[in-house]
Amino acid sequence: MAIHRPIPNERPPERAILVGAPGKEISARVAEEHLEELGRLADTAGAVVVGTLVQRLDSPHPKYYIGEGKAEELRDRIRAAGADLVIFDEELSPAQGKNLEGLLGTRVMDRTELILDIFATRARTSEAQMQVELAQLEYLLPRLKRMWTHLERTRGGIGLRGPGETQLETDRRLINRRIRDLREKLKLVAQRRATQRKARSGEFRVALVGYTNAGKSSLLRSLSGADVFVEDRLFATLDPSTRSVELGPGARALVTDTVGFIRKLPHHLVASFRATLEEATEADLLLHVVDASHPGWEEQKAVVEEVLEELGIADRPTLLVFNKVDRLTHDEEAAFRARCRALFAQPAVFTSTVEEGGLEELRRHLHDEMKAQRPEVMLAIPVFDGEALATVYREGEVLRREEGATTIHVVVRLPRPALGRLQRRAGIQVVGAA
Please report the sign of the dihedral spanned by the C-alpha atoms of residue 65, residue 68, residue 70, residue 75. Answer: positive
Question: What element of type H or E holds 309?
Answer: helix 297-310
Element spanning 79, H or E? helix 68-81
List the beta strands (DSSP E) in 166-284: 204-210, 241-248, 251-257
Residue 3 clears pLDDT 50, i.e. is over it: no
16 neighbors 87 (Cβ within 8 angstroms): yes
Binning pLDDT at 50, 70 and 90, where does residue 67 land? Answer: very high
Residue 279 has pLDDT above 60, yes or no: yes
- The set of residues, in sequence order, having a beta carbon less than 8 Å from that of 126 and lying 6+ positions away, is none
Distance separating alpha carbons of residues 69 and 180, to the nearest angstrom: 43
Strand 376-382 relative to strand 48-54, pairing = unpaired
Q: Let me know if residue 7 belongs to a domain.
A: no
Last residue of a domain, one of 344, 372, 400: 372
Mean pLDDT of 328-338: 93
Residue 236 is part of a domain; what is its CATH number? 3.40.50.300
Distance, in Å, from the CA atom of 105 to the CA atom of 99, rounded to the nearest integer, reads 10
Residue 11 and residue 225: Cα distance in Å, rounded? Answer: 39
Contact predicate 227/179, CB 8 Å: no
Q: Does 193 map to a domain? A: no
Residues 216 and 333 placed together within one structural domain of the fold:
yes
Q: Are residues 144 and 85 in the same domain?
A: no
Task: Order the strands of the 376-382 sheet from edge to edge.
Answer: 397-403, 407-413, 376-382, 429-433
Domain-embedded: residue 128: no
Residue 166 and residue 209 share a domain: no
Query: In which element (H, E) is residue 422 found?
Result: helix 416-423
Q: Is the pLDDT of residue 303 over 80?
A: yes
What would you report as the CA-atom Rg of the chain, rounded to the nearest whole angstrom?
A: 26
**Is 1 within the bounds of a domain?**
no
Q: How far apart (Å, rounded) are the C-alpha atoms in residues 324 and 216?
A: 11
Confidence check: pLDDT of 165 > 70: no
Identify residue 150 by its one-letter amino acid code: H
Of 214, 208, 221, 344, the C-alpha closest to 285 is 208
Let me know if residue 364 belongs to a domain.
Answer: yes
Return the minimum-mean-pLDDT range out of 143-147, 151-155, 261-265: 151-155
**260 and 305 co-located in one domain:** yes
330 and 416 in a single domain? The answer is no
pLDDT of residue 191: 82
Residue 356 has pLDDT above 80, yes or no: yes
Q: Which of 372, 392, 407 is the last residue of a domain?
A: 372
- In this prediction, residues 181-195 reach a mean pLDDT of 83
pTM of the model: 0.76
In a domain, 127, yes or no: no
Per-chain mean pLDDT for the chain: 83
Q: Is 227 among the domain residues?
A: yes
In the chain the first and final C-alpha atoms are separated, in Å, by 64
The answer on pLDDT for 29 being more than 70 is yes
CA 342 to chain centre: 28
Strand order in the sheet with 241-248: 241-248, 251-257, 204-210, 285-291, 318-323, 348-350
Q: Are residues 344 and 248 in the same domain?
A: yes
Model confidence at 146, pLDDT cuts 50, 70, 90, reads low
Higher pLDDT, 194 or 64: 64
Candidate from 96-105, 149-158, 261-270 with smallest mean pLDDT:
149-158
Instruction: Give the per-residue pLDDT at 147.
Output: 57
Residues 32 and 100 in one domain: yes
More confident residue, 267 or 81: 81
For 381, the domain range is 374-433
Residues 288 and 301: beta-carbon distance below 8 Å: yes
pLDDT band with cut points at 50, 70 and 90 for residue 360: very high
Q: What is the CATH number of the domain that holds 76?
A: 3.40.50.11060
- Let me know if residue 418 belongs to a domain: yes
Please name the residues in contact with 153: beta carbons below 8 A apart, sequence gap of 6 or more. none
Q: Do 54 and 176 share a domain, yes or no?
A: no
Q: What is the CATH number of the domain that holds 407?
A: 3.30.70.240
Q: What percent of the chain clears pLDDT 90, i.e. is strictly above it?
A: 33
Residue 141 burial class via C-beta count within 10 angstroms: exposed 0-12, middle 13-18, buried 19 and up: middle
Residue 86 host element (H or E)? strand 85-88
| Cβ atoms within 10 Å of 255's Cβ, excluding its own | 25
Instruction: With a cut of 70, say whether residue 163 has pLDDT above it.
Output: no
- pLDDT of the residue at 433: 60
Clarify whether residues 225 and 152 are in a common domain: no
Regarding whether 210 and 67 lie in a shared domain, the answer is: no
Cα separation, 315 vs 218, whole angstroms: 26
SS3 of 205, please? strand
Task: Report whether pLDDT(233) > 70.
Answer: no
- Range from 3-17, 116-130, 157-171, 207-221 that averages highest in pLDDT: 207-221
Q: How many domains does the chain have?
A: 4
Residue where one domain finishes, among candidates 160, 188, 216: 188
Which range scores top for mean pLDDT: 92-106, 133-147, 409-423?
Answer: 92-106
Residues 357 and 418 in one domain: no
b/e code 410-429 from CB counts within 10 Å (16+ = b): bbbbbbeebbeebeeeeebe
367 and 378 housed in the same domain: no
Phi, psi of 206 (to 5 degrees): -125, 140
Q: Look at residue 77 and tell me whether its pLDDT is greater than 90.
A: yes
